[in-house]
Amino acid sequence: MIGNIIGAYYFSVMGLGKNFVIQLGDTYGKIIFIGVFFISFGATVVLLTVGTIPFLG
């Protein structure tokens, strides 16, 4: 739960812009990488548990 609060804080700060994040002393690229990693990991877990999603197009 603490990790969610900290993660939400980082993404809220990122909404203020890249220069603002750098001025606060955080590394912008690391935060982006961690965010994309967790989103892709979550999507993979859902896809593997639910099954293949048919293409509706």
* Cα 8 to Cα 35: distance, rounded to the nearest angstrom: 10
Average predicted confidence (pLDDT) for the chain? 79
The reported pLDDT for the residue numbered 56 is 60
Q: What is the largest CA-CA distance in the chain?
A: 45
Q: What is the pLDDT of residues 28-50, one digit of tens each?
A: 888 888 888 888 888 888 888 87
pTM: 0.62
3-state secondary structure 7-46: HHHHHHHHCCCHHHHHHHCCCHHHHHHHHHHHHHHHHHHH
Tokens of 31: 């935060």
Judge contact between 28 and 21, C-beta under 8 A: yes
Mean pLDDT confidence for 21-28 = 84
